[in-house]
Structure 1
Amino acid sequence: MTRAVTKAGFSLLKFGPLRMLVRPKLLKIAAVMAALIALLLLYGMTRGTLPIPTGAIARALFYPEALSAQQTYIVRDIRLPRLLMAIFCGGMLGLAGAAMQSITRNGLADPGLIGVKEGTSVVVLTLILAFPSLSLAWRPVVGMLGGLTVALLVIVLARDLSRPRFILIGIGISWALSAAMGLFVTTADIRDVQTAMTWLAGSLHAATWPLLGVAVMWALPAALVLYLTARAADVAMLGDQMSCGLGVRLSRLTLLRFFAPVLLTAASVSCVGSLGFVGLMAPHMARFLLRGGQVALLSGSALIGALLVLLTDTIGRLAFAPLQIPAGIIISLIGCPFFILLLWRRRDAL
């Protein structure tokens, strides 16, 4: 048994009575990506308008009295929450894209391409401008309702999650909602327009510890649902008849794995605005680097999504200083050619 497992590329890990099969190659790749995220996080904390030595980072976090109040404030209250928010939101969008592509069996599926992001943006933007004093905890709640409403509308119109028209109808509704937001931008007060444009561009400059706490509070349950249903999702990829014969409840699985990405996307958009194409690119990169089941796909997509957002936010913050380019703009510059390439590869199926 052990020899067969080894030949298949697996290793058996033992934790007391627990047994787990893992691929050492996948763990190495995941460890490299995690190390890159950690290095980029450290680099981002030391670079900015006020450069801070690498050795001062640990003192700022654990011994703040050893540094000036300005250095401690910049590291602990400005840069660290922003960088952690980039990592967390990128991971959430990567998970959402992987789950959406798996449940629809469509490599073009992404919450941002079926109107979830725009539906969330419309209602959250309305909340920000109409009720500015309302607690931050309400943003994901309202955003989830808006995103879920749009997602259900796309499902009703498409009638089939696995066909290309599901994506095409979603793109059409996304454009309609974007046009509504464009109408607002051209007619609203200039101060409201400035707030809206900064938020819609996907900027992380306003990230704070309370906002990060809101994102974590709403996203962790959704991520847990995806991992707990990963084995059933692997079986569902065999087809409806086979999975039903193996005891998978497809209706409940579809509901859970469709609702969880909507919640993840709503939590991310509610906190930092629109970060497009992350959920589209991260799963494809994860499949290329980490060949495996749903657990590998979810984990790889989360790591790659976190790395993408962290890298683009760092580039936008430092490359054009003192001007800061929102991460959402840089991601779109990368994501648009990526999306066109995917459409070209699938041109015979559309």
Structure 2
Amino acid sequence: MTAAAYRRLRLGPLSLRFHARRTALCTGLALLLLALALAALATGSGDAGLADALAFLTRPTDTAHSIVGDLRAPRIAMALACGAMLGLSGAALQTVTRNGLADPGLLGVREGASLAVIALMLCYPGAPLFLRPLAGMAGGLAVALAAMAIARSLSRMRFILVGIGLSWFLSAVIAMILVTADIDSVQAAMIWMAGSLSGTQPEMLPLAYACLALGGGLLVLTMRAAEASLLGETAAIGLGVHVLHLRMATIAASVLMTAAAVSCAGSLGFVGLLAPHLTRFLVGSGQAALIAGSATLGAGLVLVADTIGRTLFAPVQIPAGIVLSVLGVILLFVLLWQRRNQI
């Protein structure tokens, strides 16, 4: 990429160098996401429409807009947060492992978090909501550490294969628990596992966005080091990058955000795998563009899937995780076809 493609913005003593085309594309994707969020806010089985959605945005305390404010807005906000976290987690793992197949689901992090949350739900049904992300983080971190210990490397295919093996094993454990548990307790767990956002509660939003800010902020802080790591471990060390610290920070951010997304919305597949690839296809390479694009496209994927699930077959609601599985397969085949000569 030539230097002419970059621009420099000066604000007093501060100077920011950015890629003009990628910045414009990421801005366009962000505006499109806002438009989709507004459309989702105005769409549903209730009587509230676009006028009510706009009225809620300008007067959010007005009790006349309870359908939009109490039902749709928290669900849309959670879809955006969970999608962004999963997109960022996928981008971080693909960067640190230098493997395009890396994904929180393929590495077992999602299943580890799911197992911990399900155990909490079945053993302590009345547990406070804030304990779910804590349990999910503990489960996801345990699986990530186990995969690293067995594979002894983060940059080889062996790490992916170990993660896939752990993922299948934990899926079998989860299935065994659900089969043997009491049917009344299992029903709520099954709905949650399908990736349903229907049970979103407003008090869960601050925790979800706090995890998004913490994990995303950590990825932004390590962005330059991650860019250098793509040149290879030897080159990165020569450029002054502490590779081990970078990998641990990236894994920690990915586990934090994956656990938070799983704890709040259940299993949402394909987002962490597809969002980074869609970003590279639509926006281009570059770590800054990858982070911004993956967060935006991940949020958009979950938002669109949830909106389709709650409106297409209304009043019956299809969990977003099921819709994502269908959309994910279609998008994956489209990407594979577009890059058929590069594979």
Whether these two folds match at TM > 0.5 is yes
Structure 2 unaligned blocks of 5 or more: none
- Cα distance in 1 for partners of 2:205, 2:61 equals 25
Question: Which stretch of structure 1 is more off in the superposition, 259-268 or 326-335?
Answer: 326-335
2:183 pairs, out of 160, 165, 190, with: 190
Match in the other structure for 2:155: 162
DSSP 3-state at the match of 1:11: strand
**Paired AA for residue 37 in structure 2:** L
Match of 1:173 in 2: 166
Q: TM-score, normalised by structure 2?
A: 0.93
- In the alignment, the residues of structure 2 paired with residue 93 and residue 33 of structure 1 have an alpha-carbon distance, to the nearest angstrom, of 17
1:136/1:214 contact within 8 Å kept: no
Q: Is 1:281 paired with 2:274?
A: yes
Verify the 8 A CA contact 1:140 1:218 in the aligned structure 2. no
Contact in 2 for aligned 1:93/1:264 (Cα 8 Å): yes
* Alignment partner of 1:144 is 2:137: yes
Paired with 2:152 and 2:61, the residues of 1 have a C-alpha distance of 61
Aligned to 2:42: 46
The answer for the alignment partner of 2:84 in structure 1 is: 91
- What secondary structure, in the 3-state scheme, does the structure 1 residue paired with 2:102 have? coil
Deviation at residue 291 of structure 1 after TM alignment: 1.9
- Give the Cα–Cα distance (whole angstroms) in 2 for the partners of residues 64 and 102 of structure 1: 40
Alignment of 1:1-350 (within 5 A): 5=3, 8-63=4-59, 69=63, 71-336=64-329
Deviations along 1:128-150, whole A, 9 cap, x unmatched? 22222222222111111100111
CA distance in 2, matches of 1:25, 1:282: 19
Offset at 1:184?
2.2
Cα distance in 1 between the residues matched to 2:329 and 2:46? 34
- 1:218 Cα shift? 2.3
Q: Compared with structure 1, are the counterparts of its residues 342 and 287 closer, same or farther at alpha carbon in structure 2 (3 Å cutoff)?
A: closer
Specify the SS of the correspondent of 1:13: strand
User: Aligned equivalents of 1:298 and 1:236: distance in 2?
Assistant: 15
- CA, structure 1 residues 65+264, in 2 after alignment: closer, same or farther (shift >3 Å)? closer
**Which amino acid in the other structure matches residue 20 of structure 1?**
L
The one-letter amino acid of 1:183's match is M
Question: 296-305 or 22-31, which moves further after superposition?
Answer: 22-31
CA distance in 2, matches of 1:75, 1:187: 39
Local SS of the residue matching 1:14: strand
Pairs aligned (count)? 340
Deviation beyond 3 Å, 4+ runs, structure 1: 61-66, 336-346
Distance 1:156 1:342, change over 3 A: farther
Unaligned runs of 5+ residues in structure 1 are none
Q: Please report how far the alpha carbon of residue 60 of structure 1 lies from its aligned counterpart in structure 2 after TM superposition.
A: 2.7
Aligned partners of 1:306, 1:144: CA distance in 2, in Å? 21
Task: Assess, with a 3 A threshold, how the Cα gap between structure 1 residues 64 and 15 changes in structure 2: closer, same or farther.
Answer: closer
**Shift in Å, 1:159:** 2.1
Please tell me whether the aligned partners of residues 202 and 326 of structure 1 are also in contact (alpha carbons under 8 angstroms): yes
What amino acid does structure 1 have at the position aligned with 2:247?
T
Asked if the contact 2:122/2:186 (under 8 Å) is kept, the reply is no
The more displaced of 196-205 and 186-195 is: 186-195
Task: Flag the 1:271–1:115 CA change in 2: closer, same or farther, 3 A.
Answer: same
Structure 2 counterpart of 1:17, one-letter code: P
CA distance in 2 between counterparts of 1:153 and 1:120 reads: 13
What's the TM-score once normalised by structure 1's chain length? 0.91
1:25-53 deviation line (CA, Å, top 9, x unaligned): 21221122112211111111112121323
* CA distance 1:72–1:211, shift in 2 (3 Å): same
Corresponding residue SS for 1:22: strand
| Distance of aligned partners of 1:335 and 1:62 in 2 relative to their CA distance in 1, 3 Å threshold | closer
Deviations 1:152-173 (A, max 9, x none): 1112222222222322221221
Name the stretch that deviates more: 134-143 or 224-233.
134-143
Shift of 1:271: 0.6
CA distance in 1, matches of 2:247, 2:60: 49
